[in-house]
Amino acid sequence: MPFVWLRRVLMLGSALLMAGCALPSLPSMAPTAGRASQGGPFRLGIDVLAGNRFDLLRGKRVGLICNQTSMSGTGVHTRVLLQRSGVNLTALYAPEHGIDGTIKAGVHVSNRRDAVTGLTVWSLYGPTRKPTPRMLAGIDVLLFDLQDIGSRSYTYISTMALAMDACAETGKEFVVLDRPNPMGGLRVEGPPVEPKWKSFVSQINVPYVHGMTTGELAMMISGEGWCSARPNFRVVRMNGWNRNMVWTDTGLKWYRTSPNIPHANSPIYYVATGMLGGAAAVDVGIGTENPFGYAGGRGVNAAAFTAYCQRLGFSGVSFSPYSRNGFGGVKLGINPRAAANITALDVFMIAELNRLSRGAVLGKMSASQISLFNKVYGSDSLRRDLMRGVSPARIVGSWSGFENSFRSKRQRYLLY
């Protein structure tokens, strides 16, 4: 690693400049509908499909993976829009948090009857997280229409990957109705996933922040052979979205994607403290007005930690001290266009809170906490390295080769 870059991380804690550009889709990839453009009115994948009179679905029995975020640009739920339009919608499938998005993280979702459509809602976050042949028996094509947040550990993209796999194995079509990445399409940050630590919170080997839409990720899952068989799939692209756009640029209403992602800027706070939240004796603001918007430790001196964070010089991020219920730390303010590497900030804060808590943050974790912490990071190296004194700058620097390789690899799958 060049010394200049390492010094910049040490002194400023800033990101490698976020890079990436959209390339035209390749003709060798699966057929697509609704070609995106740089201009013109913004339209979601579901709106493009509706504008084409649901031509992809004629004469087919249709299943839909959906939740409360599955809304058209005009505020009509996808499952309602499909039924009103005469599409033969025969089954629904719910991810983590359920079809209404009210179930807490990690809590199993049960099969149920949907009061809106009268259809069976099969759970994809219960005894199985991959659709079974029985679940898919009554459909010909499975639609995926969930709003993702752009972080690898958020489980909706894991649901998509496993559903693609199941459809490939059973000969069903798979269609992604594309939606924006709320953090935009340029931010690429974080480590790879080691095979040993592949899990539902690290299902595919992309950086912790990948800067791709769900449609682009589906292209990559297929193109990189991450399915057991090559899926028969399509992506219904958005119109009017480009990689520079964060959520507020779309003009869309934000629907809470899960109980602790209530705001349009919640995804970037999730990145800043999501890994920290899995440690011991910490507070990331769950239960406050801004979940994941705090970083604190039990017994930590708030002023000392705030001064440390401010010295890092993370561009686009502000820190103010807070203390409550025996915890001390910082309240974060993050510009969604911040140039700083927000995943790196997570690591720097974990390391310093662990030091200020005399090792309690990492040293007093239960076995289940350790396992989840490692799965979210994609390796057991972060906890091990920090506990033996490896600097956070060195850890963050170790990601650069993978980040650069990923930026190059993802180019052929970018649709915008």
Identify which of 261, 283, 273, 395 has the alpha carbon closest to the alpha carbon of residue 329. 283
- How high does pLDDT run on average in the chain? 92
Which residues have C-beta within 8 Å of that of residue 249, sequence separation ≥ 6?
Answer: none
> Is residue 245 one of the residues assigned to a domain?
yes
pLDDT at 41: 83
Residue 219 sits in the same domain as residue 280? no
Task: List all residues 6 or more positions away from 93 whose beta carbon is below 8 Å from its beta carbon.
Answer: 63, 64, 65, 66, 121, 122, 123, 124, 131, 135, 142, 163
Same domain as 274, residue 245: no
Same domain, 65 and 192: yes
Residue 160 structure tokens:
């998509």
Query: For the chain, what is the largest distance between any 2 Cα atoms, rounded to a whole number of angstroms?
Result: 65
Q: Which of 222, 249, 276 is the last residue of a domain?
A: 249
Please check whether residues 118 and 63 belong to one and the same domain: yes
Are 162 and 41 in the same domain? Answer: yes
Q: What is the CATH number of the domain that holds 185?
A: 3.40.50.12170
Q: Please indicate, yes or no, if residue 163 is contained in any of the structural domains.
A: yes
- Residues 245, 267 share a domain: no
Both 116 and 76 in one domain: the answer is yes
pLDDT at 32: 39
CATH number of the domain at 311, please.
3.90.1150.140
Q: What is the pLDDT of residue 40?
A: 60
Which structural domain, as residue segments, surrounds residue 106?
Answer: 32-249
Report the pLDDT value the prediction gives residue 161, as an integer from 0 to 100: 98
Positions of the chain with pLDDT lower than 70, given as ranges: 1-40
> 306 and 244, same structural domain?
no
Residue 17's contacts (CB-CB under 8 Å, 6 or more residues apart) are 339
> Has residue 392 been placed in a domain?
no
User: Based on the domain organization, do 51 and 75 belong to the same domain?
Assistant: yes
Judge whether 276 lies within some domain: yes
* Structure token digits, residue 384: 């091990």
| Residue 53 is assigned to a structural domain of this protein | yes
Q: Are residues 203 and 108 located together in one domain of the fold? A: yes
- Residues 107, 234: one domain? yes
The CA-atom distances, in angstroms, between 393 and each of 7, 14, 256, 275 are: 9, 10, 34, 16
**Pair (212, 338) in one structural domain:** no
Structural domain count, the chain: 2
Q: pLDDT per residue over 35-77, tens digit each?
A: 344 446 899 999 999 999 999 999 999 999 999 999 999 999 9
